[in-house]
């Protein structure tokens, strides 16, 4: 079990909770912070002090006082009216992450929410009851109001969830698990929905998927180097030490180890003096994207453990309104991640072109088994080109946009959730592009001679060939692309590299590092 305190959640712990469904718990001293904060809210209601979101309306209605008899209705109206998300729901992993991160934020003791509300959220997480949360409709300030409202609906017995793989009304899932919906009290609706947990949860899933994909890109490009009889000298450690970027140095070292013992690589001057940039500059390009991943990781670690609602309740009953719900830091991080992942796709597509273009290699044209009669991989390159071009449009930063809302009271917003959604789509597209590169590189090394491959790439080759057979005749390649994408998603690339080239520190030192 993993302890939640509001202050120390790591990316690795989040991965285990979100992906592996590990249980969570809260220590009693953490509950004491929650209860002290709640006592302040109760005092404000009892004394009818004017405090935003507790005894007033919301947004432009912040100047309207609410009668004590209407406090519960105010919270329910807030949740229902704000639950106006549209579009397809977030993936179940993301929904699970939203619940996790909202619990963690509320446990900090700045939000004035009751213990029993948080305990119900904990039950959702531990019993794997995942809210249906539409993806579209958030401006990213005041946080993720619409998405988090759909999460909050579940607590009052409304909305829908996924439970044990089935979509159903929340009340039905509660019946199956002997849970009871709650009645929200003063401030609790606002505490549940005023935050950045939708964009941050999707950002967390994006980061975890991106680190896997980056390692896969190194493995696949290494096989492409063999397929094109690439010059191994470009990966020499002295070149990369001379520049000094640690991520570039690590990518070059990883590729050297993956290709160790290969008879398909060449030396400079042996067949050509230099390779094209898409081969020669793999460490520089992949390494730069790894730098972005490090930046994204740092921002996520802060936001995962941040108080992001409004107002916040501090010691001695001080209640302050501010703007911690503004998603600008995550918006920037997701825009940056989108660019970095697009570049993995861009350089991969250029390697695909070098594998299939007969003017750029000495392989059969388009890797066709019968050039002219059969097209081989010709249109797979078209598909890759289409995907990377789509990524270029998706990489336009969402964070530079803003639009006023709530009658200009909320006049600058982050669009952070849009940035995270775009990054997610780019990651899915890059998976397809890398799947296409892998299919092409498998065919190329097969022409060159599998027996000449390095031990690591040979193992990778045989594992991949169990998913996609050799191209001996044209077929519906979209099936192959989807199959390879699915295989890449399931492949434990960390374990593969650990078995192939040594312990994790040998292939990436800092992937899930959580403190400096």
The mean pLDDT value for 1-19 works out to: 96
H or E element in which residue 134 lies: strand 134-136
Q: Which fold has domain 203-506?
A: Fumarase C; Chain A, domain 2 (1.20.200)
Q: Are 209 and 221 in contact (CB under 8 A)?
A: no
Q: Longest Cα pair distance anywhere in the chain, in angstroms? A: 85
214-231 confidence digits (pLDDT tens):
999 999 999 999 999 999
Confidence at residue 129, expressed as pLDDT on a 0 to 100 scale:
98
Closest listed residue to residue 438, CA positions, set 217, 129, 175, 256 = 217
pLDDT tens digit sequence for 141-185: 888 999 999 999 999 999 999 999 999 999 999 999 999 999 999
Across the chain, how many H-helices and E-strands are there? Answer: 19, 9
Q: How far apart are CA 67 and CA 52, in angstroms?
A: 13
CB 398 within 8 A of CB 416: yes
C-alpha–C-alpha distance, residues 396 and 510, integer Å: 29
**Percent of the chain topping pLDDT 90:** 80
Q: Strand 160-163 vs strand 129-131: parallel, antiparallel, or unpaired?
A: antiparallel
Whole-angstrom distance, CA of residue 516 vs CA of residue 514: 7
Query: Residue 243 has what pLDDT?
Result: 97
DSSP string, 28-84: HHHHHHHHHHHHHHHHHHHHT---TTTTB-SGGGGGSB--GGGHHHHHHHHHHHH--
The per-residue pLDDT for 500 is 84
The residue ranges of every structural domain in the chain are 2-195, 203-506
Q: Which residues contact 255 (CB under 8 A, 6 or more apart)?
A: 218, 221, 222, 225, 235, 282, 283
Query: Annotated catalytic, 207?
Result: no
Helices 246-258 and 493-501: angle between axes, nearest 10 degrees: 70
Q: C-alpha 416: how far from its chain's center? A: 13
User: DSSP H helical segments within 233-371, as ranges?
Assistant: 237-243, 246-258, 277-280, 282-304, 328-356
Quickly state the pLDDT bin for 64 (edges 50, 70, 90): confident
Q: Which residue has the higher pLDDT, 26 or 58?
A: 26
Mean pLDDT of the chain: 93
DSSP annotation string for 327-341 = -HHHHHHHHHHHHHH
**513: pLDDT strictly greater than 60:** no
pLDDT in tens, 429-453: 999 999 999 999 999 999 999 999 9
Predicted TM-score (pTM) of the model is 0.94
Mean pLDDT of 34-48: 90
Please, which residues have CB within 8 angstroms of residue 311's CB and are 6 or more apart in sequence? 51, 52, 53, 54, 319, 320, 321, 322
Residue range 474-512, pLDDT digits in tens: 999 999 999 999 999 999 998 899 888 877 666 655 554
Q: What span, in angstroms and rounded, lies between the C-alpha atoms of 263 and 450?
A: 10
Mean pLDDT of 466-477: 95
Coil, strand or helix: which one is 17?
helix
d(CA 484, CA 439): 8
Structure tokens at 273: 């003096």
User: Which CATH fold would you assign to the domain 2-195?
Assistant: Fumarase C; Chain B, domain 1 (1.10.275)
Confidence of residue 63 (pLDDT cuts 50, 70, 90): confident
Ramachandran sector of residue 285 (left: φ over 0; alpha: ψ -120 to 50; beta: rest): alpha
Q: How many C-beta atoms surround the C-beta of residue 473 within 10 A?
A: 11
The pLDDT tens digits for 183-195 are 999 999 999 999 9
* Predicted confidence (pLDDT) per residue in 287-320, tens digit: 999 999 999 999 999 999 999 998 999 987 888 8
Classified as helix, coil or strand, 183 is coil
> What is residue 507's predicted lDDT score, i.e. its pLDDT?
61
Of 171, 153, 151, 173, the C-alpha closest to 162 is 173
Q: What is the pLDDT of residue 450?
A: 97
Angle at 172 between CA 87 and CA 129, to 5 degrees: 60
What is the pLDDT confidence band of residue 408, given thresholds at 50, 70 and 90?
Answer: low
Active-site option among 19, 52, 447, 508: 52
Residues 92-138 pLDDT 10s = 999 999 999 999 999 999 999 999 999 999 999 999 999 999 999 88
Q: Check: CB of residue 352 under 8 Å from CB of residue 168.
A: no
């Amino acid at each position: 079990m993993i302890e939640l305190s509001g202050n120390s959640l790591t990316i690795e712990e989040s991965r285990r909770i979100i992906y592996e469904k590990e249980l969570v718990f809260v220590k009693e001293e953490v509950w004491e912070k929650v209860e002290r904060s709640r006592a302040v809210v109760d005092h404000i209601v009892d004394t009818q002090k004017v405090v935003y979101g507790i005894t007033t309306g919301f947004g432009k209605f912040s100047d309207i006082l609410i009668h004590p008899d209407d406090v519960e209705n105010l919270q329910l109206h807030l949740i229902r009216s704000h639950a106006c998300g549209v579009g397809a729901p977030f993936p179940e992993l993301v929904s699970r992450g939203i619940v996790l991160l909202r619990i963690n934020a509320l446990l900090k003791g700045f939000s004035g929410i009751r213990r029993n509300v948080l305990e119900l959220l904990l039950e959702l997480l531990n019993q794997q009851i995942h809210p249906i949360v539409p993806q579209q409709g958030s401006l990213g300030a005041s946080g993720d109001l619409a998405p988090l409202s759909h999460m909050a609906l579940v607590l009052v017995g409304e909305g829908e969830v996924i439970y044990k793989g089935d979509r159903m009304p929340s009340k039905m899932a509660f019946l199956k698990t002997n849970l009871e919906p709650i009645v929200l009290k003063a401030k609790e609706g606002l505490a549940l929905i005023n935050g950045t947990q939708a964009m941050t949860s999707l950002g967390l899933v994006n980061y975890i998927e991106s680190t896997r994909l980056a390692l896969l890109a190194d493995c696949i490009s290494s096989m492409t180097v063999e397929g094109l009889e690439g010059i191994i000298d470009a990966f020499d450690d002295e070149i990369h030490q001379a520049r000094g970027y640690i991520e570039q140095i690590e990518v070059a070292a990883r590729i050297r180890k993956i290709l160790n013992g290969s008879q398909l690589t060449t030396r400079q001057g042996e067949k050509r003096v230099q390779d094209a940039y898409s081969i020669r500059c793999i460490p520089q390009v992949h390494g730069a994207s790894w730098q972005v991943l490090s930046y994204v990781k740092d921002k996520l670690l802060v936001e995962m453990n941040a108080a992001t609602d409004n107002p916040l309740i501090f010691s001695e009953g001080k209640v302050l309104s501010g703007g911690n719900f503004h998603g600008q830091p995550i918006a920037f991080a997701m825009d940056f991640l989108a660019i970095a992942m697009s570049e993995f796709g861009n350089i991969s597509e250029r390697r695909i072109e070098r594998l299939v273009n007969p003017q750029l290699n000495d392989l059969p044209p388009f890797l066709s088994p019968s050039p002219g009669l059969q097209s081989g991989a010709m249109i797979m390159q078209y598909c890759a080109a289409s995907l990377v071009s789509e990524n270029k449009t998706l990489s336009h930063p969402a964070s530079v946009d803003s639009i006023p809302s709530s009658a200009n009271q909320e006049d600058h917003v982050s669009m952070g959730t849009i940035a995270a959604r775009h990054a997610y789509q780019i990651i899915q597209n890059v998976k397809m592009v890398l799947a296409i590169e892998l299919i092409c590189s498998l065919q190329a090394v097969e022409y060159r001679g599998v027996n000449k491959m390095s031990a690591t790439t040979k193992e990778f080759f045989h594992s991949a060939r169990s998913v996609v057979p050799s191209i001996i005749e044209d077929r519906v390649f979209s099936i192959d692309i989807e199959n390879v994408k699915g295989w890449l998603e399931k492949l434990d690339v960390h374990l593969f590299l650990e078995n192939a080239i040594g312990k994790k520190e040998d292939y990436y030192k800092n992937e899930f590092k959580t403190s400096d």
